Amino acid sequence: MDYLPLFFKLSAQACLIVGGGEVAVRKTETLRQAGGNVTVVAPQLAQPLRELHSQGHIVWLEKPFAPSDVDGFKLVVSATSEHSVNVQVFQAAQARNIPVNVVDCPELCSFIFPAIIDRSPIVAAISSGGASPVLAKLLRVKLETLIPPEYAALARLAQRFRQTVKQAIVNADLRRRFWQDTLQGEVAELALAGREDEAAHRLVQSLQEIDAKKTGMVFLVGAGPGDPDLLTLRALRLMQEADVVVYDRLVSPDIMRLVRKDAEKIYVGKQNSHHTLPQSQINRLLADIAHAGRRVVRLKGGDPFIFGRGGEEIETLMAEGIHFQVVPGITAASGCAAYAGIPLTHRDYAQSCAFVTGHLKDGTIDLEWERLAVPKQTLVIYMGLQGLGQICAGLIRHGCPASLPAALIQQGTTRHQRVLTGTLADLPDKVAQADSKAPSLVIVGEVVKLHEKLAWFGQRQNA
Ligand code: SAH
* The pLDDT of residue 270 is above 70: no
- pLDDT, residue 463, reads 40
CATH homologous superfamily of 14-113: NAD(P)-binding Rossmann-like Domain (3.40.50.720)
pLDDT, tens digit, 9 for 90 and up, residues 315-350 = 999 998 888 999 999 999 999 999 999 999 999 999
How far is C-alpha 318 from the chain's CA centre? 30
Q: How far is the CA of 320 from the centre of ligand 1 (A)?
A: 30
- pLDDT, residue 52, reads 97
pLDDT band at 211 (very low <50, low <70, confident <90, very high): low
Tell me the percentage of the chain whose pLDDT exceeds 90.
69
Pocket test for ligand 1, best of 255, 312, 382, 415 (most atoms within 8 A of CB): 382
- pLDDT, residue 461, reads 46
Q: Whose CA is nearest to atom 24 of ligand 1?
A: 440
Orientation angle between helical segments 196-208 and 151-168, nearest 10 degrees: 30
As a whole number, mean pLDDT of residues 141-155 equals 87
pLDDT, tens digit, 9 for 90 and up, residues 231-242 = 999 899 899 889
pLDDT band at 215 (very low <50, low <70, confident <90, very high): low
Residue (of 336, 359, 383) closest to 224 by Cα position: 336
DSSP string, 171-199: SHHHHHHHHHHHTTSHHHHHHHTT-HHHH
* The pLDDT of residue 274 is above 60: no
Q: Which atom of ligand 1 is nearest to the CA of 383?
A: 13
Q: Which atom of ligand 1 is nearest to the CA of 381?
A: 15
142 a catalytic residue: no
Under CATH, to which class is 333-461 assigned?
alpha beta
Q: How far is the CA of 394 from the centre of ligand 1 (A)?
A: 22
As a whole number, mean pLDDT of residues 353-381 equals 92
- pLDDT, residue 459, reads 52
Q: Rounded CA gap, 224 and 219, in Å?
A: 15
Q: Which atom of ligand 1 is nearest to the CA of 304?
A: 1
- pLDDT, residue 25, reads 97
Sign of CA dihedral 328, 330, 334, 336: negative
- pLDDT, residue 292, reads 86
Q: Whose CA is nearest to atom 3 of ligand 1?
A: 307
Which of the residues 248, 300, 303, 430 is marked catalytic?
Answer: 248
185/310: higher pLDDT? 310
346/186: higher pLDDT? 346
Q: How far is the CA of 306 from the centre of ligand 1 (A)?
A: 9
Q: Rounded CA gap, 453 and 463, in Å?
A: 16
* The pLDDT of residue 275 is above 90: no
Q: How far is the CA of 414 from the centre of ligand 1 (A)?
A: 12
Residue 442 phi, psi (nearest 5): -110, 135
Q: How far is the CA of 440 from the centre of ligand 1 (A)?
A: 7
pTM of the model: 0.64
Domain residue spans in the chain?
A: 14-113, 153-209, 217-330, 333-461
* The pLDDT of residue 418 is above 90: yes
Which of the residues 270, 300, 303, 430 is marked catalytic?
Answer: 270
Residues 6+ apart with CB under 8 A from 233: none
pLDDT, tens digit, 9 for 90 and up, residues 72-97 = 999 999 999 999 999 999 999 999 99
pLDDT, tens digit, 9 for 90 and up, residues 218-230 = 999 999 999 999 9
What separation in angstroms does the CA of 181 have from each of 93, 124, 161, 293? 47, 22, 14, 15
- For ligand 1, which residues put their CB under 6 angstroms from it? 225-226, 250, 272, 300-303, 306-308, 331-332, 336, 382-383, 409, 411-413, 439-441
Which long-range contacts does 189-198 make (Cβ < 8 Å, 24+ apart)? 191/150, 191/153, 191/154, 191/157, 192/148, 192/150, 192/151, 192/153, 192/154, 193/150, 194/150, 194/153, 196/153, 196/156, 196/157
Highest-scoring range by mean pLDDT, 198-202, 281-285, 352-356: 352-356
348 a catalytic residue: no
* The pLDDT of residue 71 is above 60: yes
Pocket test for ligand 1, best of 250, 252, 299 (most atoms within 8 A of CB): 250
* DSSP 8-class letter at 450: G
217-330 CATH pick, 2.130.10.30, 3.40.1010.10, 1.10.3720.10, 3.30.230.10: 3.40.1010.10
- The residue type at 96: R
The mean predicted confidence, pLDDT, of the chain is 91
pLDDT, tens digit, 9 for 90 and up, residues 420-457 = 999 999 999 999 999 888 899 999 999 999 999 999 99
- pLDDT, residue 271, reads 54
- pLDDT, residue 31, reads 96
* The pLDDT of residue 214 is above 80: no
Pocket test for ligand 1, best of 221, 303, 307 (most atoms within 8 A of CB): 307
